Chains A and B, each alone.
Chain A
Amino acid sequence: DQQVKQNSPSLSVQEGRISILNCDYTNSMFDYFLWYKKYPAEGPTFLISISSIKDKNEDGRFTVFLNKSAKHLSLHIVPSQPGDSAVYFCAASGRGGATNKLIFGTGTLLAVQP
């Protein structure tokens, strides 16, 4: 039972354009949602997060949107840069942001073309 789903295994975008990565979840008890970025041969690094009481969180070029009614969140990167090329994981956790209960999606490989 995949509670966090990233249905697009890959995405290709031109440099300067917007990248939109999507994530769906099934558990309405999730309170916190996080995005991690992973380069080859490196561990995932935290990118941005959002709590369920918000519908948007922005940090520079990165914005995460949360639609609780649809159980859907998305990560927008604008403008996209070649250095953004990586695997992006969506993750969710329950009440209190308990890290030991982080549920990850399968990841989306983003390729930003120069």
Chain B
Amino acid sequence: SAVISQKPSRDICQRGTSLTIQCQVDSQVTMMFWYRQQPGQSLTLIATANQGSEATYESGFVIDKFPISRPNLTFSTLTVSNMSPEDSSIYLCSVEGGGWNSGANVLTFGAGSRLTVL
């Protein structure tokens, strides 16, 4: 399966600032996915990023708040804009390619970026 590197692994941010999270994959992938895990909550899909097209956002997430870049088949960034304490979460990058098992396509995740907004 793919190896995913995420930076930063953690950060403490001030309210009103923006932070960009980078995701690097060791192989070319068509789709990259950005998830969020708020404290005590499940992993929630923010958006799907395809190379060469605009990201597709899930309900409740908008491009102005979470702009995404996908300049090539191995790299993507997620920016958390104008942060508030409610944005304190773990943000995870993931890709397909962990293999198929029982008919389900398996996602591989990065280690995540833990953001704390003061």
Task: Label chain B's interface by main secondary structure.
Answer: strand
Considering only residues 78-118 of chain B, those with a C-beta below 8 Å from chain A are 92, 94, 96, 98-112
Whether the pair B42, A49 counts as a contact (CB closer than 8 A) is no
A44 in contact with B104 given A100-B31, A100-B33 (CB within 8 Å): no
CB distance from A71 to the nearest CB of B (A): 17
A89 in contact with B9 given A49-B101, A51-B104 (CB within 8 Å): no
| Chain A contact patch, size range | 20 to 34
| Chain B contact patch, size range | 20 to 34
Whether the pair A43, B112 counts as a contact (CB closer than 8 A) is yes
Whether the pair B109, A44 counts as a contact (CB closer than 8 A) is yes
- B residues lining the A interface (CB < 8 Å): 4, 9, 31, 33, 40-45, 48, 92, 94, 96, 98-112
Whether the pair A102, B45 counts as a contact (CB closer than 8 A) is yes
Whether the pair A100, B48 counts as a contact (CB closer than 8 A) is yes
Question: 0/1 per residue, A78-103, Cβ < 8 Å to B?
Answer: 00000000000101010001111111
Query: Quick check: is A57 within 8 A (CB to CB) of the other chain?
Result: yes
Q: Which residue of the partner chain B has the closest CB to A54?
A: B102
